[in-house]
Structure 1
Amino acid sequence: MTEHPLEVFHFCPKCGSPDFEIHNALSRHCANCGFTFYQNPRASTAAFILNEKGELLVARRGKEPAKGTLDLPGGFVDNDENAEQGMVREIKEETGLDINPNAIEYLFSIPNVYHYSGMDIRTLDFFFLCHTTNDAVVKANDDAAELQWLPLREVYVERFGLRSIRQAVHRFLEKNC
């Protein structure tokens, strides 16, 4: 059963009081100490990485959710990072590629629900375009079980496991094919 994060937390994380009530759709409020906890979306990134031949770098997910399906390199933005820094870090962690943060192009964002640890985590996924050379060496690491370069005509939306990634790939292909 999937639960909204606010349904899981029954005690105030600041003072431990059980008087931690639903305040609105995005928050709980503690009647004891006055603390309000907001459940805002987490920032996440994904990259369309193209080589000089116009091939797209795709990853096969090594972990749940959607283990074994295709994905784009990316992941959650850490505290004290902007979306571009998070994107560059995630690309390095998952592929080994060093991408110049000044050479990435923001494309669009899509709200998403990421099912993890029995909860639906609301995310705001930022999509970027990056370019690399044909001789760039990639190596699957972190969450990526494997990486492959695909010509855009061989990229099929239904092979991607996460909803926002499928939406983004569809949008990207409509514009670039």
Structure 2
Amino acid sequence: MHPLELLGFCPKCGSSRFAVNSEKSRKCDNCGFEFFMNPAAAVVAFIANSRGELLVQKRRLEPAKGMLDLPGGFADAQETAEESVAREVLEETSLEVTSARYLFSMPNVYRYSGIDLNTLDLFFECEVKDTDVLKAGDDAAECLWMPMDDIHTELFGLRSVRHGLKEYMSRKENSKT
């Protein structure tokens, strides 16, 4: 279901004359207010340890419960993308991010409670203070270090993470040559 389908009344004046205006907006025929459904910002972290293994986690919650994932989540209001990735990594892994380098972004559709939410996923390569304090938290059921050669993207539950991993591994491979 598209999120705009949930909006039957104008949030400004309460009119029921709140009609679809485009693929991403509704407009009130009564007061003229137009509501846009823009993508939410989400962040994803690539974190490697001193052995070159990538930090992955098992998802504790739906969507894709039990499948592999990378640390990350939705940005909060009034938060930079770098602050978001540091907060999400800390919540899910107990690791403190010391640097976050932006790599690339990908559009995504994140299905939550039967609603298709459009997101813009921002991928970062992060360094952390101390990998010894690693502990799963928040929506991570388990955290583990995985050698890059053992990464199989089909085991990751979210489409954008699978595509992001392919891009990341391709860039790593190309940087070796």
| TM-score higher than 0.5 | yes
- Structure 2 counterpart of 1:79, one-letter code: A
Determine the structure 2 residue equivalent to 1:31: 29
Q: Is the 8 A contact 1:29 1:35 kept in 2?
A: yes
Tell me the distance in 1 between the aligned counterparts of 2:118 and 2:131.
37
Determine which of 156, 160, 164 is the counterpart of 1:164.
Answer: 160
Per-residue deviation, 1:134: 7.0
Q: SS in structure 1 opposite 2:78?
A: coil
Q: Is the 8 A contact 1:58 1:70 kept in 2?
A: yes
Higher alpha-carbon deviation: 156-165 or 131-140: 131-140
Q: Is the 8 A contact 2:96 2:128 kept in 1?
A: no
**Structure 1 unmatched runs, 5+:** none
Tell me the distance in 1 between the aligned counterparts of 2:131 and 2:90.
16
Does residue 88 in structure 1 map to residue 86 in structure 2?
yes
Tell me the distance in 1 between the aligned counterparts of 2:53 and 2:152.
13
Q: Is the 8 A contact 2:44 2:70 kept in 1?
A: yes
Q: Percent identity?
A: 52
Does residue 138 in structure 1 map to residue 134 in structure 2?
yes
Tell me the distance in 2 between the aligned counterparts of 1:24 and 1:5.
13
TM-score by length of 2: 0.93
Determine the structure 2 residue equivalent to 1:175: 171
Number of equivalences? 173
Runs of 4+ residues deviating >6 angstroms: none
- Structure 2 counterpart of 1:12, one-letter code: C
Deviation digits for residues 12-53 of structure 1 (CA, Å, limit 9, x no counterpart)? 122221000111111001122222110000000000011111
**Structure 2 unmatched runs, 5+:** none
Determine which of 135, 148, 152 is the counterpart of 1:152.
Answer: 148
Q: CA RMSD in A?
A: 1.3
- Structure 1 counterpart of 2:63, one-letter code: P
Determine the structure 2 residue equivalent to 1:51: 49
Q: SS in structure 2 opposite 1:84?
A: helix
Determine the structure 1 residue equivalent to 2:112: 116
Per-residue deviation, 1:132: 3.4
Tell me the distance in 2 between the aligned counterparts of 1:128 and 1:28.
34
Q: Is the 8 A contact 1:54 1:152 kept in 2?
A: yes
Deviation digits for residues 40-89 of structure 1 (CA, Å, limit 9, x no counterpart)? 00000000011111110001011111111100000000000111111111
